[in-house]
Homo-oligomer: A and B are copies of this chain.
Amino acid sequence: MSKIIAIGRELGSGGRTIGKTVASRLGIPYYDREIIDKTAEESGLAIDFVESNEQKISSDLLYKFGMGMSYGYGNQIMPISNQIYRAQMKVIKDLADKGPCVIVGRCADYILKDYENLLRVFIYSDIDHRIEHAVRFYGMNEQNAKKTIRKSDKERARHYNLFTDNTWGDRSNYDLMLDSGYLGLDKCADLICYLSTDS
């Protein structure tokens, strides 16, 4: 049986492409859009709003909404970013309970850490490969790509570190860390598939 595969990744490392390839090769679901839709449903927030804010804690969101507006959730009053995280945590666990799958980002490695059948992967790369990937696949120019990558690293780290006890990208959170710029996306997928099927 395949594993539940949680993939953390740096922007421009090709983690999403690797995740899709792995899911397709193993014949297991790759959850992405579904997580946003279900999180919106679970939290009662608009899909667009969840999509824009689910994987980051921008300082805007934290101050304008987080500190200012707050929402009831059970017996607790919590900032909206926390509300999205809590809803998403439930959605991710519900999906993992269904069986083997691939989930990219969204602190899934942490949320699912007690699942026995979990493989936690982190995909990273040097800045040049990441810029090249962003220019090619996101249609950015080089300067914008570099700026966006730096901003994304900060946002992802802030989000992950705030909602988990861990540090984003630190080896202690992952079973396997792969430099996709050196290894190439296909070989990264090969390694993950190998570890997910041969147990």
Taking beta carbons and an 8 Å cutoff, which residues of A are in contact with B? 122, 124, 126, 169, 171-172, 174-179, 182-183, 187, 190-191, 194-195, 198
> Known: A190-B194, A191-B194, A194-B191. Is A176-B169 also a contact (CB below 8 A)?
no
How many copies, total? 2
A191 closest partner in B (C-beta)? B191
The SS class assigned to the A binding surface is mixed
A29 CB to closest chain B CB (Å) equals 23
Inter-subunit contact A171/B169 (CB<8 Å): yes
> Known: A171-B171, A191-B194. Is A179-B176 also a contact (CB below 8 A)?
yes
Inter-subunit contact A195/B183 (CB<8 Å): yes
A169 closest partner in B (C-beta)? B171
